[in-house]
Structure 1
Amino acid sequence: MAPTIRFSETVLREHALAIWSAAVEAVRPEPLVAAAVLDFPTAWQAALRAAPRVLVVGCGKAGAAMAAGLETGCEQYLPKLSGLVNVPEGSTRLLQRLRLNPARPAGSNHPTAAGVAGADEMLELLAGAGPDDVAICLISGGGSALLPAPAHGITLEDKQAVTKLLHASGATIAEMNAVRKHLSRVKGGRLAAAFRGKLLVSLIISDVVGDPLDVIASGPTAPDPSTFADALGVIKKYGLTGKVPASVSRLLERSGDKGEPETLKEQPPHVHNLVIGNNAVALAAAARRAGELGYGVLNLGAFIEGETREVAAVVVGIVRSIRSNGQPLAMAACLLIGGETTVVLGDQPGLGGRNQEFVLAALNRLGTEHMLGVCVLSGGTDGEDGPTDAAGAVATIETLTRASAQSLSPREYLDRHDSYSFFDRVDGLIRTGLTDTNVTDIRVVLVTQLDA
């Protein structure tokens, strides 16, 4: 039997951060986009060479870095490039040919008039394409809010009112998407439908579990399986017919064969969607780094969903099994968990996000009895966790020591969903700033024995 590798508590924390950072580094948009363009099929390369113009549009938290990577990958075609990408404020930079449009404030996920203006400009750019022009669309997480374009006769405030009503009614994400796509001029494949040139390639960094093309940024270049009838059915299902703005009801009721065109239903032969980065890519990089640091790795994959505390409870059970009987792997062990969980908030929640709540929930369950030799880290790869300036949190036994010295109860902070306030007081927050990428979350849990 191999001897157990021992690390100090300080080293455990350093290792967890290094493993998480390796995951984020693997999905940096600039090299991903540059490599993707250089690896385009021969026919696409020929279209680029022959194109009078290469039109660029896009949206998302990774948009600025993706645009920079595109300029690098298209260096030989640089004079042909023109266009813009909607990005969050704070992520803009000066590029050679492309323009970055700050479409929403940093730390916010609400669509703005600036986002609408950018979307209008993109639609006009694509609609004016010549027969031999090529378009490249850059899409990443957060793109839905960054690329708002209300349907004709609908205001941005109308769409926001509908979204708020659907949230309060308990509508599923699929139901909400069905409605939002049919109240938009870009979502549900409508952005691709505006293009009449030779070739449109969408390069996509996915922030959605399973990488469904119609869901990522609400699918501006992907076919939409939902219909106007589905959208109207959602409104009726939740008793919102008399509550949504009258303009919304009018639009949905005169849809389809009554004049309003449907969302895109079939992929046009000249439109191609290519996922170049996702949670699985990040997890694989994290696993490689953990192995280099001496850990056995159990990668639980990119499809983890569910309520945050329940997922944390399962992970804690695995940690205890590793410590008790070396199953499902022996120490020193690294658990990697991807995907994206949810948090069900109470009436008066505190401050935090799903990653900070995951760490606090695990810390609360493990306690001083089981936390010794364990490090728990969870972080959003975009550098934003909820409405905070933190990407997530990290905890070791020292976290409990500091909490005890200040009479802080993990359970009390957990009960009021105030994980940010807890970790801010015990030096447990991970603050990276915007990372310019977004492939959901990466959790790193290390289990070993401490040096004496």
Structure 2
Amino acid sequence: MPSPRESARAIFRAALAAADPRRAMRRALQRDGDQLRVQDRVYDLARLRNVFVIGFGKASATMAQAAEEILGDRITRGWVNVKYAHTAPLATGKIHLREAAHPLLDQNALDGTQKILEILDGATENDLVIALVSGGGSALLELPSAGVSLDDLRALTDALLRCGATINEINTLRKHSSQVKGGQLARRARQAQLLALILSDVIGSPLDTIASGPTAPDATTFADALNVIERRGLRGEIPASIVAHIARGARGEIPDTPKTGDPIFARVQNVIIADLTIACDAAVETARQLGYNTRLLSSFIQGEAREFAKFLGAIAREIDASNRPVAKLTCIVCGGETTVTLRGKGKGGRNQEIALAAAIEIAGMPNVVVLSGGTDGTDGPTDAAGAIADGETVARASAMGMDARAYLANNDAYNFFQPMGDLLLTGPTGTNVNDVMVMIVG
């Protein structure tokens, strides 16, 4: 059997492989000549004038590769916005990739969104638009509402990340400060058929939340957005232009996002092609093959990263002391997306923070390993997917002159793990289905 550290890495790699976008696209798109079957719907390619491809998200370049492999001879043209360094080689030359920033917006995202809208504006009822949607799409597809600037949206995103807002709260405000989110991209597609192929990075895969739901009905309202502002105390933290716009909407002065039952969705098909469940199931299967008594604890993990780490530590101690709830050798698999409330000025991400906080909780337990990684290969504004820790991590760090608790207090997990060689460095993976956490108790 591989060492616990090697096992944890192998289990994480299996999760990544299961969520590969090209594999997911081939599962979703079944082509037989001019017949393209997607679930229970068949598109007759011979009757279509054009097939356009648009995309936005961290995994959308890899999805575009698969689209070319399956439909390359029928694609008219396309435009895909991707995160910097998340590109992929495209063979046909018909689909243009535009790199842009994530999680904070830049001008490239806005310029690329205008190109996507130009394609939609030219599409007719005889055309099919295929939208490749993945996590990160909220930042990579954007056209601000009237009176709202790029700098305003940047300030909004920064304030939301700093206050520890949930992904649902973030998306509620994004949708109501935008002209493309919350079903508004589908509205812009007009008469064309719209097929959205979605790689989900949101717990439970709600269509209205992934990438801020540009092709799905929106259940949130301007009133909901205003409530988030009040609940999080954001009136003095976000630009006045956004507060004013949302307040106008809450008073009914601006049309809200399209809701369930809007006729625009009659010509829209939204399909989840891969999500966290697939990744976690693969991790569990690999752990069992390696000989571990394995449990999927939950694929709905949310909340503060360091609090989740305390929970993992408590489970590790219970297993070590009593072989409950699972007997050793044990592997616990979790999935989800935690948040970090920034208290310091260090460098890191939620997965690195989980690993650092867990290292403190399992200190002195050399038989325990915790790995936490983002399936997109990037955790926060760093080049690491996450980190790996064990019961000796804190002692090793102390011998190197590092105080684990001080680094955690400063949200500086990256600079803690880097000199120890314990960062999880995968590079951009081409996929994005939330985070996977692996704990081994030997």
Fold match (TM-score > 0.5): yes
The answer to whether 1:93 aligns with 2:88 is yes
Residues 52 and 227 of structure 1: CA distance in aligned 2, closer, same or farther (over 3 Å): same
The answer to whether 1:149 aligns with 2:143 is yes
Give, in angstroms, the shift of residue 225 of structure 1. Answer: 1.4
Q: Deviations over 1:298-318 (max 9, x none)?
A: 111210112122211211121
Residues 160 and 404 of structure 1: CA distance in aligned 2, closer, same or farther (over 3 Å): closer
Give, in angstroms, the shift of residue 82 of structure 1. Answer: 1.6
The answer to whether 1:13 aligns with 2:14 is no
Mapped contact 2:162–2:342 kept (Cα < 8 A):
no
Give, in angstroms, the shift of residue 171 of structure 1. Answer: 6.0
Q: Deviations over 1:202-237 (max 9, x none)?
A: 111111112121111111001111233444555567
Residues 209 and 91 of structure 1: CA distance in aligned 2, closer, same or farther (over 3 Å): same
Residues 405 and 85 of structure 1: CA distance in aligned 2, closer, same or farther (over 3 Å): same
Judge which range, 307-316 or 250-259, deviates more.
250-259
Q: Deviations over 1:405-434 (max 9, x none)?
A: 324332232232222122112111111111
User: Which of the two has greater strand per residue?
Assistant: 2
Mapped contact 2:362–2:390 kept (Cα < 8 A):
no
Mapped contact 1:378–1:441 kept (Cα < 8 A):
yes
Q: Deviations over 1:99-152 (max 9, x none)?
A: 111122xxx411111111111121221122121211111111111011111123
Give, in angstroms, the shift of residue 404 of structure 1. Answer: 4.2
Mapped contact 1:47–1:134 kept (Cα < 8 A):
no
2:323 maps to: 326
Aligned counterpart in structure 1 of residue 276 of structure 2, from 276, 279, 284 = 279
Aligned counterpart in structure 2 of residue 129 of structure 1, from 123, 144, 150 = 123
1:57 maps to: 54
Aligned counterpart in structure 2 of residue 441 of structure 1, from 420, 435, 442 = 435
What are the residue-to-residue correspondences of 1:346-425 with 2, within 5 Å?
A: 346=343, 348-368=344-364, 370=365, 372-397=366-391, 399-400=393-394, 402-425=396-419
Give, in angstroms, the shift of residue 244 of structure 1. Answer: 6.0
Give, in angstroms, the shift of residue 439 of structure 1. Answer: 1.0
Mapped contact 1:34–1:72 kept (Cα < 8 A):
no
Judge which range, 260-269 or 436-445, deviates more.
260-269
What are the residue-to-residue correspondences of 1:190-209 with 2, within 5 Å?
A: 190-209=184-203
Give, in angstroms, the shift of residue 190 of structure 1. Answer: 0.7
The answer to whether 1:23 aligns with 2:22 is no
Residues 45 and 71 of structure 1: CA distance in aligned 2, closer, same or farther (over 3 Å): farther
2:288 maps to: 291
Residues 236 and 322 of structure 1: CA distance in aligned 2, closer, same or farther (over 3 Å): closer
Give, in angstroms, the shift of residue 334 of structure 1. Answer: 0.5
Residues 90 and 103 of structure 1: CA distance in aligned 2, closer, same or farther (over 3 Å): same
Letter in 2 for 1:84: W
Residues 391 and 240 of structure 1: CA distance in aligned 2, closer, same or farther (over 3 Å): closer
Letter in 2 for 1:182: H
Letter in 2 for 1:85: V
Q: Deviations over 1:343-401 (max 9, x none)?
A: 2221x332222111211212212212x2x222211111111112211111112355355
CA distance in 1, matches of 2:250, 2:322: 61
Residues 231 and 313 of structure 1: CA distance in aligned 2, closer, same or farther (over 3 Å): closer
CA distance in 1, matches of 2:294, 2:70: 34
Equivalent pairs counted in the alignment come to 432
Judge which range, 223-232 or 213-222, deviates more.
223-232
Judge which range, 405-414 or 381-390, deviates more.
405-414
Report the secondary structure of 2:219's partner residue. Answer: coil
2:34 maps to: none
Aligned counterpart in structure 2 of residue 120 of structure 1, from 90, 93, 114 = 114
The answer to whether 1:70 aligns with 2:67 is yes
Residues 199 and 44 of structure 1: CA distance in aligned 2, closer, same or farther (over 3 Å): farther
The answer to whether 1:337 aligns with 2:329 is no
CA distance in 2, matches of 1:123, 1:266: 23
Give, in angstroms, the shift of residue 86 of structure 1. Answer: 0.4
CA distance in 2, matches of 1:255, 1:417: 37
- Under a length normalisation based on structure 2, what TM-score does the superposition of the two structures give? 0.90
Residues 256 and 319 of structure 1: CA distance in aligned 2, closer, same or farther (over 3 Å): closer
Residues 257 and 51 of structure 1: CA distance in aligned 2, closer, same or farther (over 3 Å): farther
CA distance in 1, matches of 2:164, 2:293: 41
Aligned counterpart in structure 2 of residue 34 of structure 1, from 9, 26, 30 = 26
* Unpaired segments ≥5 residues, structure 2: 32-36
Aligned counterpart in structure 2 of residue 102 of structure 1, from 99, 103, 120 = 99
1:302 maps to: 299
Report the secondary structure of 2:431's partner residue. Answer: coil
Residues 34 and 441 of structure 1: CA distance in aligned 2, closer, same or farther (over 3 Å): same
Report the secondary structure of 1:411's partner residue. Answer: helix
Letter in 1 for 2:89: L
Letter in 1 for 2:203: V
Coordinate RMSD, CA, aligned: 2.6
Percent identity, aligned pairs only, is: 44
* Unpaired segments ≥5 residues, structure 1: 1-6
CA distance in 1, matches of 2:54, 2:184: 13
